[in-house]
A = this chain, B = another copy of it.
Amino acid sequence: MLLGRVDGTLVASRKEPRMEGLKLLVVRQLEADGSDGSGYVVAVDAVGAGVGEVVMYATGSSARQTAATDQKPCDAVIMAIVDTWELEGKAVYTK
């Protein structure tokens, strides 16, 4: 999984029927030290995340292993909201 920050939302009214009702969030990838990474992803929200929150997301076929995304054309899912992580014993981020 990778760490990210929810930076925004996305609306798409015309979409694959199986994607109806799913919340789509624009997630900025974060580096392990908490700084902004260069990548982003649009992910389905499976845990009720909001803009500004630091999250963890899974990609690829693993993104379909939630109740919300099962058998859907979804390759990225937010599967956790991060409370804290630390590197070498020091907190990098605390909610």
Contacts and interface: CB of A to CB of B under 8 A. Distances in A.
Interface residues of A, number: 58
Given A1-B41, A2-B42, A73-B79, A51 B11 contact: no
Q: How many copies does the complex hold?
A: 5
A81 to B, nearest CB: 4
A59 B69 CA distance: 15
A35 B40 CA distance: 13
Contact of A8 (B14, B48, B85): B85
Interface of A: 1-3, 7-16, 18-19, 24, 26, 28, 31-32, 40-43, 46-48, 51, 56, 58-66, 69, 71-77, 79-89, 92
